[in-house]
Structure 1
């Protein structure tokens, strides 16, 4: 995928709402995981456990499995109910690499925008006593 395509692409495949998928791919790249364990780990990326809908997570994981980015199996033998464990595939690793390239390009563009904004000193007087606008 060309970098300029990633910068200007408006296709459904490249929208930021796919951030959950990217985070899941990264977590699964580190180690296999299961639903509730992944929810806890997503907090690192700013997802709050009480705001992340469990059905959204499982729907996303099913979609990722249909796209061949992850595979899953039922874990047996432990105490309690069986749980579905997810692992990243080679396709998932490639998808993750492409997304990281896209996000790096977007980060650079956002950084330039913020720097330009700060150079203009537009926000002066808009900040409250806590430093937020």
Structure 2
């Protein structure tokens, strides 16, 4: 989830009803009214970002609720919140430093782990959230 623009400049602003819907999910993120697209700058197709992480149950593993929207429709009817499968790509597979892509399956552009180091301390994923992706 990107609270700060580190890739695509596309952003989405959540309505009150959307924030209320996300807050009802058994999740892990502190909700933010504004999020930036998680894809690489210049990508094709719709913008997307994780809106909320869902902790899952004994039967259902943790999953992500995404929001995606077409260019120029960040406030309009073309927006949708949905569950998307994660990209299966991993970096340094089989090592203690293994890192997943953390973008949706079939995403455009580079994998999430190819974007380079965080820009500031505020871009670093909190430890509790890091464990969720581990």
Q: Which has the larger radius of gyration?
A: 1
Name the TM-score class by shorter chain. under 0.3
Higher strand share: 2
Higher helix share: 1
- Using the size of structure 1 for normalisation, the TM-score is 0.25
- Using the size of structure 2 for normalisation, the TM-score is 0.25
Q: Could you say which structure has the greater relative contact order, defined with CA pairs below 8 angstroms and 6 or more residues apart?
A: 1
